[in-house]
Structure 1
Amino acid sequence: MSQQQPSISSVLNQTTANQVAHNRLKLASISKTIVLCGRQNISLRGHRDNFTDIERDTAGLHNHGNFMALLNFRLDAGDVVLRDHLSKASRIATYTSSVIQNQLMDILSKQVRQHIIDIVEVAKWFCITADEVTDVSNKEILSLVVWYCEPDSLLPREDLVGFFQCNEGITVQQLANMILTHLQSFDLDLFYLRGQAYDGAGNMSGSIRVVVKSLALTSVRNMMNIVRKVYFFEAHLKRQRKLEDVISDTQPSSTFNKLKDLCRTRWVQRLDAFTIFSSLYQSVLACFESIYLDGPALWSNDSITDANTLRHAITITDFISSFVITKSSLQYLHSLTANLQGSSTDIIHAVKEIETITSTIQNIRDNIDTYHDEWFTEIKEVCDTAGTVPSTPRTCARQAHCSNTPASSPSEHYLHTISIPLIDHLLFELKSRFSSHQPVALLSLCIVPSAMLVLPVPEFLTHSFQLADKYKDDLLSPNSFA
């Protein structure tokens, strides 16, 4: 009796399985190339990387992108499967198009994300950081990062779990709903969420900000934009050299020879930028005037126009008043911001300063007339340097974009439009950002070894007891702290 032949269905199944396995081998080389680009932070696409352009470029004159170059490198290194695939596959089945690249990247990103989520679920407790920014295509993108401790090593980690487009909007509620939706889609138990941070996501942090008249702080916002633009010296070597020459002539004893950028993220650098700008104000004015007077013979039209525009902008009373009052108000926060951006021990010291600084700002608010008089004295001195007579902005019956507060003098005008609103704003920010539970959470840094070594024993025990009481439901043996 002849041997029984396999059924048609089993033959077809085996053929399909072989084809699937062979296709996976083809995709393996392509996927590994994409993973390599991702690990090394290398962009994939080129100026002309479609199949037609590559076929036409027989002389190899064009750059077809890193992805295609790395595939060619694999071919030269002896990748037989990839060579066989690219030589025999039809033009619509090479799996190297931008569409396939995006699909593979999406699949790979989901695998990486799931791997991270699996570790977070084992670690149990986690924190999140969200940041909303606008990308180069002018789309609002939300980045989401999870913080956790590795279950085995107990080392802290922070991992990006994705970039998500804000299709529904960027209001506080919309961003909050978006974050919750994604966390729930990851199957993360929000019961174990122990911390949130919104790094630069102004709308999220703004949900607890003071509700003040936007017009009251318009002058401060405009002033900061102008100071940021004055940083134009740094972008051109010739302008910077001119500023240094003017400083050596007008302020030879100055310890500064360049301006500092008004950094959006590092507040210590921002406060330092105010100090340096105030110190070099006379030289900056002289430099702008010199560039304008030198004219086209030495400077480009852009340099002349910018210098004249900025010279006018930094000499008006509204700018000078906003700058002096803001600089004087923020100087009380310098030590706090420096410590909060420092080591664990510095942050612990900063927590102790919060109450003191809040009391100081409150005292300024209670005696705002006295402090404002001191600030306005400095304003008049700066106006004398700029050759400006202190004055108030022009007002009209109905004002939409500027403050129209009635005042009998420039001092009274800027008291009500800048000093009082700014101090109120600082007070509310301090009280809202450092509410009762946040200082206790920050004191958890006392258990960092470097901090434990320098803290007095009674202080360390006090902080430990506070932490144990705050997180007693999370501790395995909370009574051990008793």
Structure 2
Amino acid sequence: MHYSNPEARIDNRMTYINARNYKFNLEVLPTIVEAVIMCGKQRIALQGCKQDKINFDSPVTRNEGNFIALVRLLAGTNSCLDQHLRTGPANAKYISKNIKNEISEIAADQIRDFYRECLRECAHFSVVADEVASHGQEILSVCLRFLEVQKGNFELKPKKHEVLLDFAFLQRIAGESIAQGILCVLEKHKINIRNCRGQAYDTTSSMSSSSVGVQAHIKRVAPDADYQGCCLHSLNLVICKSSQITAIRNMFDSCQQAYLFFHNSTKRQRLLEHVISCQCPATKKTKINGLCKTRWVERHTTFDTILELYTYLIETWDEICYPSNCDKLYPDESNWKWDSETRTAANGLRYTFVGFEHIVVFMLVRQLLEPIRPIAECLQARLQELYFGFKKVDEVVHFYKRIRNDVDVEHNRIYAKAKKLAADIGSDEAMPHIIKGRQTRANPTVLLPCNYWRVTLTIPFLDSILSELESRFASDKRAHFELCVLVPEVITKNESLEETIGILTSKWGHLMPTEDNFESELIRWRQHCHGIAETKSITQLLSEDADPLFFPNV
């Protein structure tokens, strides 16, 4: 029967249908894939409320999600996609959440292939991990930090990368469980843990413990992977520990309550804006922010705003407690009718902010913590290099030591600013009463307020900052810091290299291609570094100066 019409044979008909579907899918699938990738690049959530039954012939009546909305938009100018969405089989429209997850996984695998290719050329890497609780699960993000270099071509500048590798779902958040999660992720993606040269986590005990923490478990399988705690986390702990002085803690609480007073009521915030517009129309800031618990930069910004609006805050609370009925302040309201809760809160905040204790503590803390702000900004910078980051920390430590040695001058400078602010709002210089036998607060036998605040606040606060900085940023807590001796700024000032050679060969000799020649090579490297700018980054040194032919060990 089919000898005269071979096209009608079943196998040929199947081949024809498959070829037609293949050609049609080539028109449709790339657009759907591009929509998923675009949402991923723009960090746009894909899923809507529900996507079980979507009828592309009917108008949209609910939120179908960003992805479906984008597909509908693209279908308006793509006839093949429009036909596919309207008439295609329900089990082959390629818009289900499973298909989107598969597309995302394929894209992720393509990116991971690039990572692995970089690691083939330069196998060493550091692992960065952090865990967070979300939707009742403990999720661990595992990231890699590595260099992208061109094989056999060191003329091209190496590029630093810090990238997300994968997520792991944890049953427990103990050190061993987290370490196992990291090892499983690396093994899954065929990355050799023995090539790990560094670990970076936060400074909690489950991560940082040298016996049962994550760093200890990883170091057992990767002996060269030194642990470096999160410097920004350590810096935040420095500030938290230093702020345990009762007067400072009370000042922080008062500033947070002032933020909540206006944040929780648009009516109160509107009154503050009226006061600012009447008193100083040129002021751009009209709102104070809360004190961020994790980032000091934002907290210091809040202090700057409070200082700028200090007098206007007090005038606003004055208007709430003792209304002046000034038409200029209330152009749209005949009577604000503040409730008793608002009046009570405003009176308490007004009393606190007018008090000289709050003023002097606020000014002293703001001024004495100001040098930490550039460190925080430096450490938050993307891919900040170890040596230059710790160099900034050391500079700030030396600065604090200098003002501690000359504490009277620094205290008098800040105290004068506090007195000026107090005078602007009509507050008098004062100090708490000295009562013999009192143990709940500092009770020194001094006669002048200036000396009281110097003894009870400035000196203890400076001592605490210095102690915490030196403890949390000590040399033994700086991973691979011994390698910083190779930086031109350091090695050119090192007259004797004997100790340096001993330290480096004892730790890194097993990785040196020609360990026996390292001494002469280091002497040549020091000579070479005399002509190198001290501001060069480590990656610049690798690409421009550390030639693998002349300096293989370096």
Matches within 5 A, 1:251-400: 270-271=299-300, 273-275=302-304, 277-278=306-307, 280-294=309-323, 297-298=335-336, 307=346, 310-311=349-350, 314=353, 323-333=362-372, 354-362=393-401, 390-391=431-432
Partner of 1:242: 274
Q: Is the 8 A contact 2:142 2:185 kept in 1?
A: no
- Whole-Å separation in 1 of the counterparts to 2:190 and 2:396: 42
Q: Which runs of 5+ in 2 are unaligned?
A: 4-10, 151-155, 208-228, 326-332, 445-451, 490-528
Q: Is the 8 A contact 1:351 1:439 kept in 2?
A: no
Letter in 2 for 1:188: I
Q: Is the 8 A contact 2:124 2:196 kept in 1?
A: yes
Of Structure 1 and Structure 2, which has the larger fraction of its residues in helix?
1
Partner of 1:89: 89
Q: Is the 8 A contact 2:356 2:428 kept in 1?
A: no
Partner of 1:58: 58
Partner of 1:151: 149
2:469 pairs with 411, 426, 436, which one? 426
Letter in 1 for 2:66: N
2:532 pairs with 457, 460, 473, which one? 460
Letter in 1 for 2:276: E
Q: Is the 8 A contact 1:216 1:417 kept in 2?
A: no
1:205 paired with 2:230, answer: yes
Shift of 1:66: 2.8
Shift of 1:366: 6.8
Equivalent position SS for 2:58: coil
Partner of 2:40: 38
Equivalent position SS for 1:217: coil
**RMSD in angstroms over aligned alpha carbons?**
6.1
Letter in 1 for 2:37: V
Partner of 1:186: 189
- Whole-Å separation in 2 of the counterparts to 1:338 and 1:445: 25
Partner of 1:119: 118
Shift of 1:68: 2.1
- Whole-Å separation in 1 of the counterparts to 2:37 and 2:293: 33
Normalising by structure 2, we get a TM-score of: 0.56
Letter in 1 for 2:471: F
Normalising by structure 1, we get a TM-score of: 0.62
Q: Which runs of 5+ in 1 are unaligned?
A: 4-10, 398-403, 447-456
Partner of 2:328: none
Q: Is the 8 A contact 1:324 1:375 kept in 2?
A: yes
Shift of 1:44: 2.0
Equivalent position SS for 1:49: coil
- Whole-Å separation in 2 of the counterparts to 1:142 and 1:312: 47
- Whole-Å separation in 1 of the counterparts to 2:428 and 2:169: 49
Partner of 1:164: 167
Equivalent position SS for 2:70: helix
Letter in 1 for 2:244: L
- Whole-Å separation in 1 of the counterparts to 2:385 and 2:160: 22
Equivalent position SS for 2:191: coil
- Encode CA deviations 1:6-47: one digit per residue, 9 max, x unaligned: xxxxx8xx98x959x859867665444322322343332234
Shift of 1:199: 8.8
- Whole-Å separation in 1 of the counterparts to 2:104 and 2:285: 49
Q: Is the 8 A contact 1:261 1:273 kept in 2?
A: yes
Shift of 1:317: 7.7
- Whole-Å separation in 2 of the counterparts to 1:213 and 1:334: 14
Letter in 1 for 2:104: M
- Whole-Å separation in 2 of the counterparts to 1:442 and 1:24: 59
Partner of 2:443: 408
Q: Is the 8 A contact 1:131 1:200 kept in 2?
A: no
- Whole-Å separation in 2 of the counterparts to 1:256 and 1:74: 43
Q: Relative to structure 1, is the Cα distance of residues 461 and 78 closer, same or farther in structure 2, using a 3 angstrom cutoff?
A: closer
Partner of 1:109: 108
Q: Is the 8 A contact 2:57 2:86 kept in 1?
A: no
1:217 paired with 2:244, answer: yes
- Whole-Å separation in 2 of the counterparts to 1:129 and 1:476: 28
Percent of pairs with identical residues: 20
Shift of 1:405: 5.5
- Whole-Å separation in 2 of the counterparts to 1:467 and 1:259: 41
Shift of 1:67: 2.0
Q: Is the 8 A contact 1:291 1:299 kept in 2?
A: no
Partner of 2:510: none
Letter in 2 for 1:43: A
